[in-house]
Amino acid sequence: MNRRSGTGYTGIPPWIYAIAAAGAVFVLLPLVAMVAKVNWPQFIPLITSESSLTALGLSLRTSAASTAACIVLGVPLALVLARSPFPGQRLLRAFVLLPLVLPPVVGGIALLYTFGRQGLLGRSLELAGIQIAFSTTAVVLAQTFVALPFLVVSLEGALRTAGNKYEAVAATLGARPSTVLRRVTIPLVLPGLASGAVLSFARSLGEFGATLTFAGSLQGVTRTLPLEIYLQRETDADAAVALSLLLVAVAVAVVGLSYRRPRVEAAPEGVFR
């Protein structure tokens, strides 16, 4: 690592590298252990079984839907939190970030008492003929609930870093606020928005507790990949391991995308200088 950092002085004491290595091993070792446990001859049949493919398809579709919902709800939230100071702003931020620290099962219970049959809104929705709990919609709601903070945090940071100088200039050039948002603000924070969306997608993909509590585990309707893995673990350990590896592969692909973030952000920064 010293050699890779070239001629620049890093200021990192040598023993830090040892602890960092231990940290890396701590994260990698369980993955290695899991890969070692995979029943390779049966791997393809296991992950291409009907229930597996159904669960994977459902996971990808619901995660895409909840990522879209996160963008629709999260972009305005991040803008309001980053740009306009108002009384109660800190409180709002705290509540928006709450799902980050809340156990997902608690989130699921909260959603159940909101959208469930006897819930706060659920009762009115039921009268209107809409039933949300234990449906695919419930999966999307649960995933959106837990993933929204990732998008808001990521985008709010990007908005604060970008500042509002460009927006002020755009306004004096005659651009109305919606035009400024569409043509200046969003393009400037696009890397932050993209990495926030990727994180939200990854969080949605891995969502388990809130989904199980609020949406249940109906095959093809609410049984996403993590739920399928949990179910298989009791009956067919090989299948559970194979599906876990599949989920790891999807997650690595997603993280790989978001790992390009620093380079994407470096481009506009270079421009500012």
Partner 1 sequence: MTFELDATLAARGFEVSLSLGPAETIAILGPNGAGKSTLLSIISGLLRPDSGKAVLGGRVLFDLAADKNIWRAPHTRGTALLAQEALLFPHLSALDNVAFGPRSAGASSAAARETGMHWLTEVDAGDLASRRPGQLSGGQAQRVAVARALAANPELLLLDEPMAALDIHAAPLLRRLLKRVLAGRRAIIITHDILDALMLADRVIVLEDGRISEAGPTRDVLEKPRSRFAAGLAGLNLVAGTVSDAGVTTDQGMVVAGHHDGTVAPGQDGVAVFPPSAVSVFLTEEHGSPRNSFPVRITDLEPHGDQIRVHAGGLSADITPAASADLGLTPGMTVYFVIKAAAIAIYPA
Q: Is 184 in the site for partner 1 (CB under 8 A)?
A: yes
Q: Is 272 in the site for partner 1 (CB under 8 A)?
A: yes
Q: Rounded to whole angstroms, how far apart are CA atoms 215 and 222? A: 6
Q: Rounded to whole angstroms, how far apart are CA atoms 182 and 175? A: 10
| Span of 90-98, 120-128, 164-172, 257-265 interacting with partner 1 by CB under 8 A | 164-172
DSSP letter at 233? H
Largest CA distance in the chain: 70
Q: Rounded to whole angstroms, how far apart are CA atoms 31 and 37? A: 10
Q: Is 172 in the site for partner 1 (CB under 8 A)?
A: yes
Q: Is 170 in the site for partner 1 (CB under 8 A)?
A: yes
How far is C-alpha 228 from the chain's CA centre?
20
| Span of 44-52, 170-178, 215-223, 238-246 interacting with partner 1 by CB under 8 A | 170-178
Q: Rounded to whole angstroms, how far apart are CA atoms 197 and 180? A: 22
Looking at beta carbons only, is 76 or 177 nearer to partner 1?
177
How far is C-alpha 154 from the chain's CA centre?
11
Q: Rounded to whole angstroms, how far apart are CA atoms 72 and 148? A: 10
Report the residue from 13, 85, 129, 270 that binds partner 1 according to the rule CB under 8 A. 270
89 phi and psi angles, rounded to 5 deg: -65, -45
| Span of 23-31, 123-131, 187-195, 256-264 interacting with partner 1 by CB under 8 A | 187-195
| Span of 19-27, 78-86, 163-171, 197-205 interacting with partner 1 by CB under 8 A | 163-171
Q: Is 123 in the site for partner 1 (CB under 8 A)?
A: no
Q: How far is the CB of 271 from partner 1 (least distance, A)?
A: 4
Looking at beta carbons only, is 179 or 219 nearer to partner 1?
179
Q: Rounded to whole angstroms, how far apart are CA atoms 223 and 61? A: 12
Kindly list the residues in this chain that would bind partner 1 in the complex (CB under 8 A): 165-166, 168-177, 179-180, 183-184, 187-188, 190, 267-268, 270-272
